[in-house]
Amino acid sequence: MPCQTCGACCASFRVSFHHSQLDSEVGGYVPAMLADEETASTCRMRGTDRSPPRCVALQGEIGERVSCAIYEFRPDPCRDFAAHGVHGIQNEACNQARARHGLPRLADH
Ligand code: SF4
Ligand code: SF4
């Protein structure tokens, strides 16, 4: 799995999700202390709207070894974002994030 030595997408895109996913809401699980309010109905992972972006939950060195501090409790956009080429999934945004951080593109499969 290329993600554990990458992390580029966690430091490239704004990560927005519905506030019902916050652990401050009934049935939610994403730590509210790591998110900022965005609109009346959405919030975002803190740090992902900065320039350059980097999610506060991302641990480690991009392109070396990384992990998500809230992996079990990450929001939907993170769960839906797949590495390009893994399990036949095509996700050009993955390779765009990697290019942004000077990492080689993942091959199509
Ligand atoms: S940019 Fe792609 S390879 Fe890198 S962590 Fe994100 S999904 Fe994984
Ligand atoms: S919550 Fe985890 S998977 Fe999602 S952007 Fe932040 S570090 Fe990446």
What's the chain's average pLDDT? Answer: 97
Indicate whether 81 belongs to any domain.
Answer: yes
User: Does 44 sit in the ligand 2 pocket, CB within 6 Å?
Assistant: no
Indicate whether 26 belongs to any domain.
Answer: yes
Nearest ligand by distance to the CA of 103: 1
Q: For residue 36, what are the domain limits?
A: 2-85
User: Does 15 sit in the ligand 2 pocket, CB within 6 Å?
Assistant: yes
Q: Give the position, in ligand 1's atom list, of the atom nearest the Cα of 4.
A: 5
Cis ω before 104 (30° cut-off from 0): no
d(CA 17, CA 3): 21
CB 2 within 8 A of CB 91: no
Indicate whether 24 belongs to any domain.
Answer: yes
**Domain total in the chain:** 1
Residue of the CA atom closest to atom 8 of ligand 2 = 10
Q: What is the pLDDT of residues 33-86, one digit of tens each?
A: 999 999 999 999 999 999 999 999 999 999 999 999 999 999 999 999 999 999
Residue of the CA atom closest to atom 5 of ligand 2 = 10
